[in-house]
Amino acid sequence: MDKRSFESKDYPSIALRISAAGSIAEFVIFIVYNFFKKCLNQPSPTFLMPKKSAVFLSTDFGRRADAMGRLTTHVLDAAHGCPGSAIKVELYRVEGAQLELVATAITNSDGRCDAPLLQGDDYRSGVYQLQFCAGDYYRGRGVQLPAPAFLDVVVLRFGISAEQDHYHVPLLISPYSYSTYRGS
């Protein structure tokens, strides 16, 4: 593969970054690309994801903070087909039988917390528990719930094993069911 096809044909978004950065960056990226191609007999995964490649090769250290680990969540109201706004969320660190309150937040109009629940020095591997006040949310929307509510506080217990990773734990709720997964 010649240099010209690498720049303009195969990876147009990378080519734009190279031309903006200058000839030294162009040379470095071309060498790295060929290294991965020879080692793996295929393009490097970072070249298949230009956004991640740009963050990795960036000299803007403020942007590199995006690669640091953090915990986020959001709530979707599956019963009404909308974000779960104004839901109280509590995050606990689980130490044996003890729960240590780490953060409390209220979801915004998009069903998300305005900031990560956990990041920086507080973000470490371990077992955590998220608690969502779903019953209060549905009562606030005027939904008639039985007494006691089938789901009042939804509790999700999960582990963080990779401190450099972003853990996103969404919650899909209705008055009688919930679902979660590890998002991205």
Distance CA 116, CA 178 (A): 22
Distance CA 22, CA 17 (A): 9
Distance CA 169, CA 114 (A): 15
Q: Is 17 annotated as a binding residue?
A: no
Q: Is 63 annotated as a binding residue?
A: no
Q: Is 166 annotated as a binding residue?
A: no
38-45's contacts with Cβ under 8 Å and 24+ in sequence apart are none
Torsion of CA 39, 53, 21, 31, to 10 degrees: 0
Distance CA 151, CA 35 (A): 54
Q: Which residues are annotated as a binding site for substrate?
A: 74, 112, 181
Q: Which residues are annotated as a binding site?
A: 74, 112, 181
